[in-house]
Amino acid sequence: MYSLARQFLVLRAAAAPATLLMSVGQGVFRGMKDMKTPLKITLWANALNFGLDGVLILGLGWGVVGAGVATSVAEWVAAVAYLVALYEKRELLGAGGYGGVYGTVTGMITKLTRDDRSTSSDDSNSTNRGGRKSELGSFVKVGTAVVLRTALLLGTKTAASATAARLGAVPMAGHQVTMQLWILSSFALDSLAVAGQALVAVEIGKRNGNVAREIGDRLLLLGVGSGAVIAIVATILQPGVIPGAFTDDRHVVDAAMEILPLATVMLPINAAVYVLDGILVGCADFKFLALAMLGAAGVTCGLLFNVVEPEGGLIGVWEALALLMVCRFISLVWRYQWRYGPLPPIQDDRT
């Protein structure tokens, strides 16, 4: 496993800058409430990835090396597509008048970093510099909270995978099959969270707290309902289709079937967590999200390292992951319902 993982990681690392460019591009278009452009780029990139997988893995027999090459190439193509799409939006982004993609990027950086030379007053220049420092400080503060939250979330899932890997090749394979299904359902449900980020933020900016709360409630209802539907479908398909679609190894199928029921039951709770996460991001409640994740990650990793690793087996790993989502669910529900939270309850306009 180590040798194969190392080959794949080295090849995937070549696309690390592309992955960051894709993340920035998605964020910019989400902020503009343009969800179609990221969808188109994602569809074409995944189609390319899928096609290259067939050629390199099945056709040329490259195995895991082919998978790494296919993914890295697809991500670089997507990154270039985002750069082109951002260039087309340069006027809206305040980078008009600069030539080419390079000029657009350097022009935007210049606009963010230069001192304002249009006024001759030292006081005015000092005020402008102070304002920019304040904006930069806010950006760093928010960025730190977001990075901490994301690192804790991914780090906890990585710890779970590391624990499963120590159990052996078969448990690790069963874990990976189930995790892929979990991630697939997560991305499907996370679309509501993305909508919540944009829609709630817009209404908060307009000081329409009541409308923002109504949007949040509706997204929660849709999210939990969708999670329940996916859970029912997954339960029906488990015996004959899942995880047989991934492997015909009987031992791996048995390992996956041991944990699939727990993973399926968690889907409605996962949906609520994703939607609440998006709503609170729309409210710019980044500090709370980071602190809540810190607590949930601490409890989960404590269970993984002190209970699961010695004797808990694969089901213990997934009990720890379920605990992660339950802890997040409790903290996010409390924050969302708290009267003095970032999104207060709906108030009667007549009062």
Long-range contacts of the stretch 162-170 (C-beta < 8 A, 24+): 163/304, 163/305, 163/308, 163/309, 163/317, 163/320, 164/314, 164/317, 165/1, 166/309, 167/313, 167/314, 167/317, 169/1, 170/249, 170/251, 170/252, 170/255
207: closest CA among 134, 283, 280, 288? 283
* Per-residue pLDDT at 103 exceeds 60: no
**Confidence grade of residue 143 (pLDDT, cut at 50, 70, 90):** confident
**Confidence grade of residue 346 (pLDDT, cut at 50, 70, 90):** low
Q: What is the pLDDT of residue 105?
A: 53
C-alpha distances out from residue 114 to 97, 104, 134, 253, Å: 17, 15, 15, 59
For 209, the enclosing helix (H) or strand (E) is: helix 209-237
The string of DSSP letters for 328-349 reads HHHHHHHHHH-TTSSSPPP--T
Per the listing, tokens 């960025």 go with: 143
22: closest CA among 68, 72, 80? 80
C-alpha distances out from residue 213 to 75, 85, 201, 219, Å: 37, 33, 11, 10
Give the chain's end-to-end CA distance (angstroms, integer): 64
Query: 111 near 50, Cβ under 8 Å?
Result: no
Percentage of the chain exceeding pLDDT 70 = 83
The model's pLDDT over 172-224, given as tens digits with 9 standing for 90+, comes to: 999 998 998 888 888 888 888 888 888 898 888 888 888 999 999 999 999 99
The model's pLDDT over 25-74, given as tens digits with 9 standing for 90+, comes to: 988 888 787 888 999 999 999 999 999 999 999 999 999 999 999 999 99
186: closest CA among 297, 241, 262, 263? 263
The model's pLDDT over 89-99, given as tens digits with 9 standing for 90+, comes to: 877 776 555 55
Read off the pTM.
0.75
pLDDT, averaged across the chain:
84
* Per-residue pLDDT at 137 exceeds 80: no
Q: What is the DSSP letter of 86?
A: H
The model's pLDDT over 285-302, given as tens digits with 9 standing for 90+, comes to: 999 999 999 999 999 988
Query: 298 near 243, Cβ under 8 Å?
Result: no
Could you give phi then psi for residue 95, rounded to 5 degrees?
Answer: -120, 25
> Distance between CA 82 and CA 95 in Å, rounded?
16
> Distance between CA 226 and CA 270 in Å, rounded?
11
The model's pLDDT over 148-164, given as tens digits with 9 standing for 90+, comes to: 988 999 999 999 998 88
Per the listing, tokens 């609520």 go with: 272
